[in-house]
Amino acid sequence: MKIKSTLLVFGAMLLAGISHAQDGWNWPSDPAQEAKAREFNAAYFDYMKAEQFVEATKPLNWLLVNVPNLNESIYIQGVTVYKGAADKTTDAAQKRVYQDSVMAIYDKRGELYNNPVKWIETKAYYGYLFFRSDKAKIPGVVADFEKAIALKGSINFQFVPMYFDMVEKNYTLNQAYAPEQVLSIFDKSNKILDAAAATGKDVTDSKSTLETLLVKMKLIDCDFIENKLGPKLAADPTNEELAEQIFTYSLQYKCISTKAFLAALEFKDSKAPTFKTSQVRGMLYMSAGEFDKAEPVFEKAFTLASTNKEKGEIQMELAKIYARAGKKSAARTAAREAAGLDSELSSSAFGLIGDLYMSAYNDCRGGESRAKDYAVFIAAYNAYQRAGDSKGMGQARARFPSKEELFTEGYALGSSLSTGCWVGETVSLSTRD
């Protein structure tokens, strides 16, 4: 060791003239102190290069205590030294000393050089590695991640799960946030991941980790959405971020029957409508019996539909609305169009038409001919038959004219007869008996 010490001193003497000329080096003015600083600077560096990190801490510590403004490099390399020493040490107490020293080095570097944007993200990362199970130190690690985001506008997407893991621990162990604050952090974290995904990064696992942590916190249920988030949106109805939050969570946690979800959906559909937002909004109005509101929303959804199936679905909903409003002819037209757009809707479409015809007796009854008045039930039977509705067919047949009525009025079985009225169908006469 004496030989090595001699070599270190000799090396420091060789570097003396060069180091004086280097920018940023602040050697002590006292010659003896300067020589010692040069010796220890060379010593810790050599130890570090040899990965003798524990040995390197001793000369480095002297520099940090006695010549703290010597050069920024002692802080840059100091992290490597103390992190390496922590990794090599098996004694838990000493390991913690070295880990704390890493954090202290970053703090001192910030105090002297005021450039945290260069290293705050890395400090947060090391804090996560060192202290993720330390209840008392977790808030400081979270603060470092958040400082990194504030200074840089983002963090490395691979650090995002670490950040949110610490948020979860801070919430669980320290009750550090209101649930709404956690959700805001969750959304902020996802936006960082979305930005990374836009550049081609695979963030699937990271997003999954965030979702798992959020579920673990048991923050969200329908009651929370309705009674915590809903009133906030009611008080601030133009808050786009909150509306999106409510919309997303309501779908995720199957809370679409809440007033909060409808309010968020209305905001979203009014600002940037899609086929799906307009369709769901219209259906919610329908389920609430607000048919006047539903009609224009469904009409808008029809213009946003991109497939015949989507268009058919909307026409079927409009047919129901028209039927409820007594617009029977319009309802039939919409139902026929729905069946024409999507064959899978034929059953419900012609079932609705059958219902319309069954209710048309009072509209179309002339009172002069039972055969003609009952012809609407034959038209209903035909519609139910196309719908495959045997029950409807039976109910319609029970209202057919009798053989005696046809005979009395001079009609032959199987002859054609127009229903007249808005129904406007020509049917082949049949009897109920």
| Amino acid 24: pLDDT | 82
Would you tell me how many other CB atoms lie within 10 Å of the CB of residue 73?
A: 12
AA identity, residue 272: A
Q: Give pLDDT tens digits along the chain (433 positions).
A: 333 333 333 333 333 333 333 468 999 999 999 999 999 999 999 999 999 999 999 999 999 999 999 999 999 999 999 999 999 999 999 999 999 999 999 999 999 999 999 999 999 999 999 999 999 999 999 999 999 999 999 999 999 999 999 999 999 999 999 998 999 999 999 999 999 999 999 999 999 999 999 989 998 899 999 998 999 999 999 999 899 989 989 998 899 999 999 999 999 999 999 999 999 999 999 999 999 999 999 999 999 999 999 999 999 999 999 999 999 999 999 999 999 999 999 999 999 999 999 999 998 998 889 999 999 999 999 999 999 999 999 999 999 999 999 999 999 999 999 999 999 999 999 999 9
| Amino acid 23: pLDDT | 62
Distance of CA 24 to the CA centre of its chain: 48
Q: Give the 3-state secondary structure of residue 340.
A: helix
Q: Which of 202, 277, 264 is nearest to 232 (CA)?
A: 264
How many residues can be counted in the chain? Answer: 433
Residues 280, 273: Cα–Cα separation, whole Å: 11
Q: How far apart are the first and last CA of the chain?
A: 120
| Amino acid 29: pLDDT | 95
Enter the pTM of the model.
0.66
| Amino acid 9: pLDDT | 36
Crossing angle of helices 92-113 and 53-66, rounded to 10° = 40
Full DSSP string of 209-259: HHHHHHHHHT---HHHIIIIIHHHHHHSTT-HHHHHHHHHHHHHTT-TTSH
- Domain coordinates in residue numbering, the chain: 368-433
| Amino acid 22: pLDDT | 44
